[in-house]
A and B are shown apart, each in its own frame.
Chain A
Amino acid sequence: MNEEVQEILFDLLTKQATNGLDVAEQGQLDKLSASGDFFVGDSFELAAAAIGLSGLDIDEPMPAHLYSKILASSDKYYATEGFSEAEVMSEPDDMQPTFGFEPKRSSWMGWFGWAVASVACIALAVNIFSTRVQKPIDVAINPTPTASPDKPSPAKQFEEMIASANVIKASFGPAPKGPAELASAGGDVVWNDAKQTGYMKLRGLPKNDKAVSTYQLWIFDENQDPKYPIDGGTFDITADGDVIIPIDAKIAAKNPKLFAITVEKPGGVVVSDRKKMAAIAQVTKTET
């Protein structure tokens, strides 16, 4: 077998794992497999399955009626087929045990950043606002922030951080196609990668009834698929004017590209349907 044939085989295995094969292609694969020159295991399909899992939201349980139906059918299956008659799904027997995998796989962990993230960010238009200075109101910490001898107020920390170097800054504007009541949303966000801290200074967000809804921040960073932004914490708006909100990133955020605020049910959500986007801040550059 030469390299050209191996390439054909890999093409077939790739197509099988991604789109499936037609009859002719399956015949070609079977022929190559039968030649005995190659191990044809499940490695391409397992790799595709793992990639598929990385982009999957498991946020909806199987419907109860379907669960019951499958459970009932298992009795029928065991009664008619028997577990000793386990059969091959689609491949010949001699193809199955020949994974040839290395028993020890790499152990590195982590996540990755899709290049698409930046495209997603760019796709979302951000309205730049002109800065106004109003009396800050710290919603998340205190109704009226006060400095203590040991720790400066969130408002003070925000001002210090946004004036410093090596931080990420962006301006909030109303979300495209957002609801009318959120059309005047604006503000600033500042984030320090090294310290993993940040603040938002927001204005124009309507007060929310805590029993009905909350605001939730999402951080899109360079390591995350845009479908899996980092939960930046929930907060409530209880007063008019500017508010200072500390960011509460649930996992480490690295080089955020975009911040988005949604309106969610009390307590926040794991999966946002993004039906009510409150504001968006796109990072255009990092201050150094």
Chain B
Amino acid sequence: MAQATLQRIASGDRGAVKECLDTYGGLVWSIARKLLRNSDDAEDAVQEIFVDVWKNAGRYDETQSSETTFIAMIARRRVIDRIRHSARRISADSLDDVMLEPFTRADKAMQMSVEANEAAEAMRTLRPEQQQVLRLSIIQGMSHQEISDATGMPLGTVKTHARRGLTQVREVLGLGNGGHRKEATV
């Protein structure tokens, strides 16, 4: 049922909207809260995200990703956009926050999404510094410059680790053709 939600929204099934909210409301709320760290901002962002979800429901392709990952991608786009248009930046002491945040039972977290597990497994194949950069960037929401400041890595090195790490993860996830030359995929 969950895999059909976005297609049903795209076809005008309003019941699917409620189903989408029920299924992914917590996910979208958690992404917004995690990255924006402000409930008011998060509430505004979540409303915008769901409008984006409805608008883009017809673009969802279940052969490419799960609905969870697709909606998480839409949520991240909107949140990143809000962060870029606000003065809020995450301070370098977020490195400490990583260690101080509440922890969740692994068995619960592992149920979240197959792709999340695959991504986690893919991350394990990366070099430690690549893992660190992607973790601080994607999970903690730090900019490349902030990561450079916090870790002491040169900015160019941070960018290189991010690019190589993310490229490798997407290839492991079977997403590896985006950005490739056309002739290579014909």
Contact count A vs B, C-beta below 8 Å = 337
Contacting residue for A110 out of B68, B121, B159, B182, CB 8 A: B121
Q: Specify which chain B residues have a CB less than 8 angstroms from the CB of A272 in the assembled complex.
A: 102-104
Question: A66 contacts B47, CB within 8 Å?
Answer: yes
**Distance in angstroms between the alpha carbons of A96 and B178 in the assembled complex:** 11
- The A contact surface, by secondary structure, is loop
Interface check B37, CB cutoff 8 A: no
Chain B 103-139 interface residues, beta-carbon cutoff 8 Å to A = 103-110, 112-121, 123-124, 128, 131-132, 134-135, 137-139
B61 and A228 form a contact (CB under 8 A): no
B27 to A58, Cβ gap below 8 A?
Answer: yes
The residue from B56, B114, B169, B178 contacting A109, defined by CB atoms under 8 A apart: B114
Question: What is the distance, in angstroms, from A226's C-beta to the closest C-beta of chain B?
Answer: 7
Whether A86 lies near B110 (C-beta < 8 A) is no
Q: How far is the CA of A115 from the CA of B127 in the complex (A)?
A: 9
Closest 4 CB pairs of A and B: A43-B178, A100-B177, A112-B124, A105-B174
**Judging by beta carbons under 8 Å apart, are A102 and B176 in contact?**
yes
Verify B99–A226 contact, CB threshold 8 A: yes
Cβ of A152 within 8 Å of any chain B Cβ, yes or no, is: no
User: Contact: A14 with B123, CB < 8 Å?
Assistant: no
B73 is an interface residue with CB less than 8 A from chain A: yes
Whether A51 pairs with B175 at a CB distance below 8 angstroms is: no
Is the C-beta of A165 less than 8 angstroms from some C-beta in chain B? no
Interface: A36 (CB within 8 A): yes
Q: Quick one: given A20-B81, A102-B174, are A229 and B105 in contact (CB under 8 Å)?
A: yes
Q: How far is the CA of A67 from the CA of B105 in the complex (A)?
A: 26
Could you tell me if B65 and A111 are in contact, using CB atoms closer than 8 angstroms? no
B80–A105 touching, CB < 8 Å: no
Q: Does A242 contact B (CB under 8 A)?
A: no
Q: Does A60 contact B (CB under 8 A)?
A: yes
Cβ of B36 under 8 Å from chain A: no
Question: Given the complex, which residues of A lie within 8 Å of B105, measured CB to CB?
Answer: 228-231, 250, 269-271
Tell me whether A57 and B30 are in contact in the complex, defined as CB-CB below 8 angstroms, given that A37-B182, A44-B170, A99-B178 are known contacts: yes
A225 cross-chain contacts in B, Cβ below 8 A:
106, 109, 120
